[in-house]
């Protein structure tokens, strides 16, 4: 049995892996999340997830599967990362309100035994409801937007903002479990036994 390592400090990813009963350790990557923005959004998310997983795998002994993930929000041609301030969060939420956007999560798994790397991504369409400025400010006061791509989370208070989704709910939370399961199967590891 290989040791599973999550290369992320995201509490949401931790909760999702715990939800399916996976035993794992957390070793967050400290790579710079800025990469060349001229790639497609899918390549952008996959490149970041790959960089995180490879960074952590490089510090481990053989016998581990390292999971790297990165979630981005796409509105039109813009990639919305984590807000840098409350004002930034307000502007992001203002631009998203009433519109469809895409949430893309790149997922990479690295096997430290043979350095096999598999990357893929999941894409979900999300429609945010119309929001008043007061509602946006009230949501920002909860503190939820500050560590999330696009300045919102679909769980907790953020659930009041999302009108509809098309695709994987868990992807919007931060990690598509079905996509992770498919990637793990390429390593001969089944999440459901």
Active site residues: 70
CA distances to 50, 56, 126, 169 from 5, rounded to whole Å, are 14, 9, 29, 23
CB environment 168-187: b (16+ within 10 A), e (fewer): bebbbbbbbbebbeebbeeb
Say if CB 110 and CB 54 are below 8 A apart.
yes
The burial of 34, by beta-carbon neighbours within 10 Å (0-12 exposed, 13-18 middle, 19 or more buried), is given as exposed
């Amino acid at each position: 049995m290989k040791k599973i390592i999550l290369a992320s400090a995201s509490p949401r990813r931790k909760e999702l892996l715990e939800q399916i009963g996976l035993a794992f350790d957390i070793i967050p990557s400290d790579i710079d999340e800025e990469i060349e923005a001229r790639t497609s959004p899918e390549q952008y998310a996959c490149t970041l997830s790959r960089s995180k997983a490879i960074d952590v795998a490089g510090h481990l002994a053989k016998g581990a599967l390292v999971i790297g993930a990165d979630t981005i929000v796409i509105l039109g041609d813009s990639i919305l990362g984590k807000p840098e301030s409350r004002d930034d969060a307000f502007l992001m939420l203002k631009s998203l309100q009433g519109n469809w956007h895409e949430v893309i999560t790149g997922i990479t798994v690295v096997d430290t035994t043979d350095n096999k790397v598999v990357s893929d991504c999941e894409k979900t369409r999300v429609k945010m409801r119309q929001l008043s400025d007061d509602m946006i400010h009230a949501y920002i006061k909860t503190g939820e937007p500050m560590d999330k791509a696009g300045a919102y989370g679909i769980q907790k208070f953020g659930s009041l903002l999302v009108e509809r989704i098309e695709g994987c709910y868990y992807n919007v939370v931060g990690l598509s479990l079905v996509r992770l399961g498919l990637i793990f199967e390429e390593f001969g590891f089944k999440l459901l036994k």
